[in-house]
Structure 1
Amino acid sequence: MRSFTAVVAILLATLLAPFAIGATWVSERVDDREAYVDTVGDLSDDPVVQQVLADAAADAAVKALERHIPVGLPSAVRGWARTAALKVVRSPDFPTFWRKANGDLHQQVLAVLDDPDAPTDGDITVDASPLVAQVLLQLEDRGIPVGLLPTIPLDVPVTTKAKVAEGGPAYRAADRFNRIVPLAWAALVLLGVLVAHGWRGRVRTAGFALLGVAVAAVVLLLAVDPATTAALDQVEADRRELTGVMLDAVVGSLTPYARAFLVAAPVGLVLVALSLWPRRTRAEQAPASAIPGADGHFTP
């Protein structure tokens, strides 16, 4: 009965393992703002990100000039603005801007997901007004009187708040679920180890539990691409360029996270092999003097 209980506990733990790993990934890499910013931080060097933000900043700068200085603008101002914008997004200061913008973006998203009463009108945006200011400063070097302009706001839309709010109920339910699953997995493994027979049974049970973790990691690795595709399908087509790159980075971060759990496989195999190591026979364990005839004399 104890062996049966141990087997059932480890089987249930193995079924929970993918959800446990996924839950810890969400908590550590998605919900945590600093971890999220670290995940998407390297996208500051991504050509798509740079091009989208450069185009938006250049267009905003030109429209502001045309609105506030309708007469006397050189015909080449649009080309100058695009050149200046590309220079800005390729500058050493752009990664700092990108990290701060994504910290604000993360706050916007969680505000909608966490609060069922949060307003759903408008967009989740990246505040790119600092980029516009830098573009205008470079145009000033070409003789454009940008001092006549007020501060130019620019919010680059990533997705709508309504679209984010659609995932709110599932996110809030998953948040509660995610807190329980890792603990449930650990409790099942502990139960299996405690009820197993002897030290060999306990070592073997722990080994199979670790092998279950490795299997769960493989399942998650296979699920990354379909999950990314499914997430992209939910994004509006006209916003898929920037959002797609960011989603790919966030969901793709599950790959190295899950891969780290593959180390459980060799450890589990070692434990299982150790538990199956042949037992010494009584004759091997007994001292030579205790074995009849071992001293050359045999008494019938």
Structure 2
Amino acid sequence: MSRTRRNPARSAAAGVLVLVVAVLLPLTLAARWADDTVADTDGYVAVADEVVADPAVQAALADQLTTQVVGQVPATGVATVDTGVRGIVEGAVQQAVASDTFASVWSQANRTAHSTVLALLQGETSRVTLDDSGQVVLELGAVADAVTARIVESGLVSADAIPTFDTSVPLFQSSALDDARTGYEALTLVATWAPWVALAVLVLALALAYSRGLVLIWVGVLSAVGTGLLMAALGLLSERATLAVTSPSVSPALVGSITDVFTESAQHALRTGLVVSGALVVVGVVVLVVEKTVRSHRA
């Protein structure tokens, strides 16, 4: 029995579609993660809760707040007293940041801040509350309460000499978020439509291809490569992207620690792409074996 003549144009079209699917699969996963984190308050708060549970973040946050609070305590001019006050502030901040109460305050503060971020990204500035510098901030009043109580207990500084501490932590400049609005709109579009486009293109590639098994294998292999490259690029670019929207008043150590947690969360989502890619390769091999068996019987 003569072998079926293959149309080179049809094979080329199937190959192009395979490449398109391989690009869309990791892009879809990244867009879905970003959309679930950026556009969904519960998703963002869930990652923020992971952030504050990280010891490196707690240490960097405690250092940031200690420096901030100590700068607001009036100096007594007595070195031993001022050193003692700093030690008390540092201990109180560290204890507060590691407490369950702080975790609850952090979660609620991030939920409130996210509403502001989302409103800025969506252009709904009428429901935005910013500080005097035009920044989105986390209000962490529980730290101020803990520090005030510890200083009063120490007796080193009189209660009426202790100021009302500002323990807000700046997150983003509103102008940076205004600039990010176009990217947010594109992200929402990709997250909504990319999965359906990828599925439609895959179906079309399977319909055009002479071997559906090879299509699935190549999609799996190339999408795994694309996912790996995207994970590597994310590790290189995430810190730069975070610094672009983070206030300079936040310590680099805190920014770096938060970036690491968010990056790990994104890469965990992308690992799903590696699993899907592997499954496609396995299914492709099975289909390829079946195809060859069918052809041998026909011959």
TM-score range, shorter chain: 0.7 to 0.9
Q: What aligned pairs does 1:53-202 form with structure 2 within 5 A after superposition?
A: 53-60=65-72, 62=73, 76-115=84-123, 117=125, 122-143=134-155, 146=159, 152-197=165-210, 201-202=211-212
**2:39 maps to which residue?**
31
Give the structure 1 partner of residue 216 of structure 2.
206
User: Which of the residues 8, 11, 16 maps onto 2:16?
Assistant: 8
- Unaligned stretches of 5+ in structure 1? 286-300
Amino acid at match of 2:177: V
Once residues 210 and 269 of structure 1 are traced to their aligned partners in structure 2, the CA distance between those partners, rounded to angstroms, is 5
Sort the Cα spacing of 1:205 and 1:169 in 2 relative to 1 into closer, same or farther, 3 A: same
- TM-score if structure 1 supplies the norm length? 0.76
Does the 8 Å contact 1:228/1:252 carry over to 2?
A: no
Change (3 A) 1:28 1:213: farther
Q: Is the 8 A contact 2:170 2:249 kept in 1?
A: no
Q: Contact 1:54–1:89 (CA<8 Å) still a contact in 2?
A: no
TM-score by length of 2: 0.76
The verdict on how the C-alpha distance between 1:49 and 1:80 changes in structure 2, with shifts beyond 3 A counting, is closer
Deviations 1:94-134 (A, max 9, x none): 22222222222222222211117567851111102221012
Change over 3 Å in CA distance of 1:233–1:57 after alignment to 2: closer
User: Number of matched residues?
Assistant: 273
* 3-state SS, counterpart of residue 169 of structure 2: strand
> Structure 2 counterpart of 1:223, which letter?
A
Per mean C-alpha deviation after superposition, the further-off stretch among 212-221 and 188-197 is 188-197
CA–CA distance in structure 2, aligned partners of residues 158 and 23 of structure 1: 22
* Whole-Å separation in 2 of the counterparts to 1:225 and 1:169: 23
Higher RCO, Cα 8 Å, sep 6+: 2
Secondary structure at the counterpart of residue 228 of structure 1 = helix
CA contact (8 A) 1:49 1:245 kept: no
Query: What one-letter code is carried by the residue in structure 2 that aligns with 1:221?
Result: M
Find the structure with the greater CA-based Rg. 1
Residue 276 of structure 1 aligns to a residue in which SS? Answer: helix
Q: Deviations over 1:193-213 (max 9, x none)?
A: 23445xxx3344333333333
Aligned to 1:218: 228
Unaligned runs of 5+ in 2: 1-6
RMSD between superposed Cα atoms in Å: 3.3
The question of whether the paired residues in 1 share the 8 Å contact of 2:69 and 2:166 is answered with no
Instruction: Determine the C-alpha separation between the residues in 1 that align with 2:41 and 2:294.
Output: 56
Instruction: Determine the C-alpha separation between the residues in 1 that align with 2:171 and 2:216.
Output: 45
Among all aligned residue pairs of Structure 1 and Structure 2, give the percentage whose two residues are the same amino acid. 21
Q: Quick check: 1:279 aligned with 2:293?
A: yes
Distance verdict in 2 for CA 1:35–1:57, change over 3 Å? farther
Which residue of structure 1 lines up, in the alignment, with residue 3 of structure 2? Answer: none
Cα distance in structure 2, aligned partners of 1:132 and 1:145:
16
Q: 2: CA distance between counterparts of 1:84 and 1:229? A: 30
